[in-house]
Amino acid sequence: MKIFGHRGAAGLVAENTLESVKEALRFKVDGIEIDIHQCRSGELVVIHDETLERTTNGKGEVSDFTLQELRQFSTEEGFLIPTLQEVLALIDGRCELNIELKGKHTALPTLQLLEEYIPNSSWQNADFILSSFDHEQLRQLRAVTSKYRIGVLTEESIAIALPVAKELEAFSVHPSIRNLTEEEVILAKDEGFKVFVWTVNDISLIRKSKSWNVDGVITDFPNFAL
């Protein structure tokens, strides 16, 4: 079972920062999950929320600011909002990367960036999972490429997500640990899909996931998950 650091190592260091990604890498995770939005000047930035308030000292919507303006804001610890390109450079193919398309209209810009970045880097297409709750964005991806693995995120049951996963010829389904049952894991795997579960922060749930043959857990605490 693979261990993915959630937003880097969100339980240890401020989420979705380069410092958090470094912390996850320190524990030799199999993968890292991050969230992206597009800012006003077009760059893809790594942040979970549409707005700045929860994770930084800024106020307003991420999409209203240029990258230069976003550099004015920081987390409580003084960490900056990174770009996707900075995260790619930092990880440099040392583990897999699950890029969650959190913001609107991020699918095609993400694809363009990866297509430009990968040929001159240590990354391979197979190192990435592109996932989203916004299944329309996943459809946009699949309409133009089959080179990248797609992950279908769902807050509902795996059974509800399976028709979308089949339509998209997805690699994996990503349910919440809150709704997970062993029967649904078996159902997804019988249909040929990997199962990556979020956000698994309890040792007993990590062990249960492993006993159910889950393919990967996404956790805030890669230090005790490994």
Candidate list 37, 48, 135, 174, residue with the active-site label: 48
The model's pLDDT over 148-205, given as tens digits with 9 standing for 90+, comes to: 999 999 999 999 999 999 999 999 999 999 989 999 999 999 999 999 999 999 999 9
**Cα 170 to chain center, whole Å?**
15
Is the pLDDT assigned to residue 210 strictly greater than 90? Answer: yes
Residue 181's Cβ-side half-sphere holds a number of Cα atoms within 13 Å equal to 7
Mean pLDDT of 113-131: 97
Is the pLDDT assigned to residue 226 strictly greater than 90? Answer: no
* CATH number of the domain where residue 213 is located: 3.20.20.190
Give yes or no: 135 in active site: no
pTM tops 0.85, yes or no: yes
Q: Say how far apart CA 97 and CA 34 lie, in whole Å.
A: 8
Candidate list 6, 37, 135, 174, residue with the active-site label: 6
Q: Which domain holds residue 44?
A: 2-225
Domain total in the chain: 1
What's residue 224's pLDDT? 86
Look at residue 173 and give its three-state secondary structure.
strand
The model's pLDDT over 45-80, given as tens digits with 9 standing for 90+, comes to: 999 999 999 999 999 999 999 999 999 999 999 999
Average pLDDT value for the chain? 97
Give percent of the chain with pLDDT exceeding 70.
Answer: 100
Give percent of the chain with pLDDT exceeding 90.
Answer: 98
Is residue 34 within 8 A of residue 25, CB to CB? The reply is no
Q: Say how far apart CA 27 and CA 47 lie, in whole Å.
A: 22
Give yes or no: 174 in active site: no
| DSSP per-residue string spanning 65-107 | S-HHHHTT---TTSPPPPBHHHHHHHHTTSSEEEEEE-STT-H
